[in-house]
Amino acid sequence: MPKQELEEIRKKITSLDTDLLALLATRQGLTNRVAETKVKNQIPVRDQAREEQLLIRLIKQGQKAGLDPHYVTQLFHVIIEDSVLNQQAMLARWANPGSEKPLNRVAFLGDKGSYSYLATQKYFSRRPGELLEIGCQSFAEIIRKVESGEADYAVLPIENTTSGSINEVYDQLQHTRLSIVGELTHPIEHALLVPEGVEMSKIKTLYAHPQVFAQCSHFLAELGNVEVKPCDSTSAAMIIVNELRSGVVAAIGSEAGGSLYGLKAIKSNLANQKENHSRFFVVASDSVKVPLQVPAKTTLIMSTVQQPGALVEALLVLKENKINMTKLESRPITGNPWEEMFYLDVEGNIADGPMQKAMEALRGMTRYFKVLGCYPVEEISPTKVAAVNALME
């Protein structure tokens, strides 16, 4: 009898889950109609005040139904983020007619299972058309694939919250004619991956990408006398361990990637910083137009004249035009000892007045100036609800 009763309850849950999916699909359809209205009336995608009012109302309704406020908040953060990203993607398609393709050929570092592969899957899941994955063994090869027309896009890791900027990618961007058309942030969750039955105490050799070793240096120190062997990508490390099928080798990579090669995670959260994320650029042959309703970033490179205060004067141009700089990176200029090229990420759209004014001023005061790309911001900050704690009291 208890088993039969359990089955009946599970059937009801399954039915409710089906209803929930149908309701979410209906809600998504309505948000698409909202996007159409925003295009016609030049209304920004996000309305933070409305989102906060919505969450407060839902939290109160949830409490009456016996639901925890934090549960309701987390649930609707995901729903709101999905709605915003879908609206942004729709606005971008309308602003760039003819950009949709039946097949998106995308070059990335490594093979299936690498972090770049997972980031590629994530980014293009919101884009129409099928995805053709082109794994590459170096950043230079990735760039060449797009420059030669063998690929439509490239996905390149640019920085990590633990190990910092990836200088080789910055150097590649300096010398390519490709444009940055998108960005995304992807969580990096390092795990120790082994064939079935391998124990951590028996591991003698560890394979991973050099960046991964840098991000997991504390774990490596705890592991003790283990030989580390750098690979071109995390997927290359997984492939080697899968082929060796030895009881004394392991790889570091994502648990999702390891499962593609029959590897099991025996220890997780290996990174020095537990909040470990990588930021990726998406680049293509042609630049994109970002609608003014969509939050945008612009990446610039410039070299200043060799005189005291030149960089400060250039940065003051951004301040005067109320443009927020989110990143400043310097890289040596090849062939010019002790001279630097500066990479800047700023919040702003090159179609907007303040940005145009700032760029005109920077062009006039720098030795070299180039826009690497203007692209939509895809990192959606959660709606802040100051009233949550008060509502819980």
pLDDT of 124 strictly over 60: yes
**Residue pointed to by tokens 């040596």:** 332
pLDDT at 386: 61
Structure tokens at 139: 């950043």
Q: Where in the chain is CATH 3.30.70.260?
A: 296-376
pLDDT of 335 strictly over 70: no
Structure tokens at 127: 């884009």
Percent of the chain with pLDDT over 70: 97
pLDDT of 152 strictly over 70: yes
In angstroms, the CA 245 to CA 195 distance is 6
Q: Where in the chain is CATH 1.20.59.10?
A: 2-96
Mean pLDDT over 165-182 rounds to 91
Which CATH entry fits the domain spanning 103-188+277-284: 3.40.190.10, 3.40.50.720, 3.90.550.10, 3.40.50.1820?
3.40.190.10
Fold of 2-96: Chorismate Mutase Domain, subunit A (1.20.59)
In angstroms, the CA 28 to CA 87 distance is 9
Fold of 191-267: D-Maltodextrin-Binding Protein; domain 2 (3.40.190)
pLDDT of 393 strictly over 70: no
Contact 294, 45 (CB under 8 A): yes
Structure tokens at 80: 């709101």
296-376, superfamily in CATH?
Answer: ACT domain (3.30.70.260)
Q: Where in the chain is CATH 3.40.190.10?
A: 103-188+277-284, 191-267
pLDDT of 135 strictly over 80: yes
- The answer to pTM > 0.75 is yes
pLDDT of 390 strictly over 50: no
Least confidently predicted of 19-33, 80-94, 150-164, 243-257: 80-94
